[in-house]
Amino acid sequence: MTVGGVPDRDSCVLSNLIDRHAAATPDKAFVVLPDGGAVSYARLRAEVRAMARALQDLGVQQGEHVLVWMPNGLDVLRVWFAINYAGAVYVPINTAYRGGILEHVVRNSGARLMIAHGGLAGRLADIDRSALERVVVLGGERPDVPGLDVLGAEALASDGEVKPLSRPVEAWDTQSIIYTSGTTGPSKGVLSSYAHLHAMGTSLAAERDGTPFVGADDRFMVNLPMFHVGGTAPTYAMLACGGSISLLDAFETSTFWQTVEATGTTAVILLGVMASFLMKEPVRPGERDTPLANVIIIPLGAEGVAFRERFGMTTRTLFNMSEVSCPLIAEPNPTVVATCGKPRKGVQLRLVDAHDVEVAPGEIGELVIRTDAPWALNHGYNANPEATAAAWRNGWFHTGDAFRTDADGNYFFVDRFKDAIRRRGENVSSFEVELEVAAHPAVREAAAVAVPSEFGEDDILVAVSLAEGQSLDPADLIAFLKPRMAHFMVPRYVRIVDDLPKTPTRKVEKYLVRQSGLTPDTWDREAAGISIRREKLAG
């Protein structure tokens, strides 16, 4: 139910959802693990309530921020749910953080308490910990961190009942703070309400008209991190509908299909590179005969389009980011490479210039968003009013992403504005270059960046990492690309690397590729005598 367009507490507040499903279907599994273990709704509620009381005994107050620094698994799920059950705010940290980025996030969060894996907590000794006073270690060895009160897992155990909250948790209360990757500056903490995460999760699992394609009988594989919306959104989607999740610590190509079978998984999100890895695996007997029925592939490359034909399930794609709630969704089984779909029900979208003036059809502009329902998007950045004001100007949320549309109304991600390439009078999408390069069978990942040209504007450098056991002659890559893209998009420079530099959330740090520039091992097709010109038309 909704009240004034906002879901009521029973529909979106985490504690209410747990209570409702534990009462209605106590023996039904909410979590299934690859090793065959499972946790029912009733057991989940009991464990979450016990941990919520322990948090209250540690002094956690309603509305307080609690840092969580843990890998995927049952422990982090219980901790997240217990924090929200106690009325507090879940603030997960990427498990790769250390040094300056860790210090920034700890300081920005304003948290007094952290729950961390022992293998991570020792990194706190090397930073200024700001307001942080206490760490509870859950999993691994308990390190000694001078100046911090470091407690063991027993601090999260309790036999007591959850203390009443000062007031009921509302749909618009802050549920979590999830930090962005920080590729263009310090990471920003995205403030998400319960209504926002509910909108994101339910939109993720629905068609453009809002009709769900998963329900109480489905099981959504969570193999993306819980410190990211890739892990939290499908978890919340299945909690909202009374379904279940299969919970993995990470995606593994070699065991993916066995895990699907073992857990009875019916739905999953695959990043484009994951789908590519699976497509490059040898064909297996009976590979179309699995319980997996729905696969969301983001972004949708050529191999993503071919995924449905090979494996026989329904494929989907969409656009999302931590701040929004899946505003663009494609029809099932999309065939237009790189499409993000069309606006879903309940959102308004515009493509605008630097002055927020709408661009002409077919032109590239920044995607700005607003929703019909209150609280269905983020409500700012934690302790960062300047960034909040910049993103939320003129009544629209500004994504910072360049998009274009086609004649059919499909939206296409072009680039982050900072990654735009201008070559020979043409605007080039690094994203579209990367899609075509990654379609080469030997390529695992690609990053296209602008490098200075002796003729002004830009030339294009593509850095590639190779699939396991593969080799690549750059000239062969150019021959592969030439019939697949416009002449001005074909890279001049190719650099083969062991791995592309990544942010802690596994996004490619293009600025590092750009900073490296033309290294001694960079191949130049023009120096190799390969020149690509505009095709002359006869007549």
Answer whether 462's CB lies under 8 Å from 437's CB: yes
Positive or negative, the Cα torsion across 348, 349, 355, 358? negative
- The model's pTM is 0.84
- Which token pair is 240? 């909202």
Give the whole-angstrom CA distance, residue 23 versus residue 299.
39
Answer whether 150's CB lies under 8 Å from 143's CB: yes
| Residue 165: alpha-carbon gap to chain centroid | 32
| Residue 178: alpha-carbon gap to chain centroid | 11
State the pLDDT at residue 230: 93
Pairing of the two strands 267-271 and 294-298: parallel
Answer whether 102's CB lies under 8 Å from 125's CB: no
Give the whole-angstrom CA distance, residue 200 versus residue 244.
17
State the pLDDT at residue 539: 34
Give the CA dihedral 142, 143, 146, 147, nearest 10 degrees. -40
- Which token pair is 234? 């499908």
State the pLDDT at residue 182: 55
Give the whole-angstrom CA distance, residue 276 versus residue 288.
17
Residues of the chain by 3-state class (helix, strand, coil), percent to 5: 30, 25, 45
State the pLDDT at residue 537: 40
Element (H, E) at 80: helix 74-85
Residue 291 Rama label (left phi>0; alpha psi -120 to 50; beta): alpha
Nearest-CA neighbor of 19 among 34, 9, 32, 5?
9
Nearest-CA neighbor of 269 among 241, 290, 248?
248
- Which token pair is 126? 């090397």
Give the whole-angstrom CA distance, residue 518 versus residue 387.
34
- Which token pair is 20? 């409702």
Give the whole-angstrom CA distance, residue 377 versus residue 321.
10
Give the whole-angstrom CA distance, residue 256 versus residue 309.
18
Considering only the C-alpha atoms of the chain, give the largest distance between any 2 of them, rounded to a whole number of Å.
86
Region 420-524: CATH code: 3.30.300.30
Q: Over the Cα atoms of the chain, what is R_g?
A: 24
* pLDDT (tens place) for every residue of the chain, 539 residues total: 676 678 999 999 999 999 999 999 999 999 999 999 999 999 999 999 999 999 999 999 999 999 999 999 999 999 999 999 999 999 999 887 877 778 889 999 999 999 999 999 999 998 999 899 999 999 999 999 999 999 999 999 999 999 999 999 999 999 999 998 654 457 899 999 999 999 999 999 999 999 999 999 999 999 999 999 999 999 999 999 999 999 999 999 999 999 999 999 999 999 887 998 899 899 999 999 999 999 999 989 888 999 999 999 999 999 999 999 999 999 999 999 999 999 999 999 999 999 999 999 889 899 999 999 999 999 999 999 999 999 999 999 999 999 999 999 999 988 777 776 877 656 777 887 888 899 899 999 999 999 988 766 789 999 999 999 999 999 999 999 988 877 888 999 999 999 999 876 677 888 889 889 999 999 999 999 998 886 554 43
State the pLDDT at residue 301: 87
The CATH homologous superfamily for domain 2-403 is ANL, N-terminal domain (3.40.50.12780)
User: 3-state DSSP call for residue 284?
Assistant: coil
Give the whole-angstrom CA distance, residue 54 versus residue 45.
14
**DSSP characters for 172-204?**
TSEEEEEE---SSSS--EEEEEHHHHHHHHHHH
Hey, which bits of 33-148 come out as E strands?
Answer: 38-40, 65-69, 89-92, 113-116, 134-137
Answer whether 115's CB lies under 8 Å from 199's CB: no
Q: Map out the domains of the chain as residue ranges.
A: 2-403, 420-524
Q: Which residue has the tokens 């993000």?
A: 340
State the pLDDT at residue 424: 63
Answer whether 192's CB lies under 8 Å from 199's CB: no
What distance, in Å, lies between the first and last C-alpha atoms of the chain?
Answer: 65
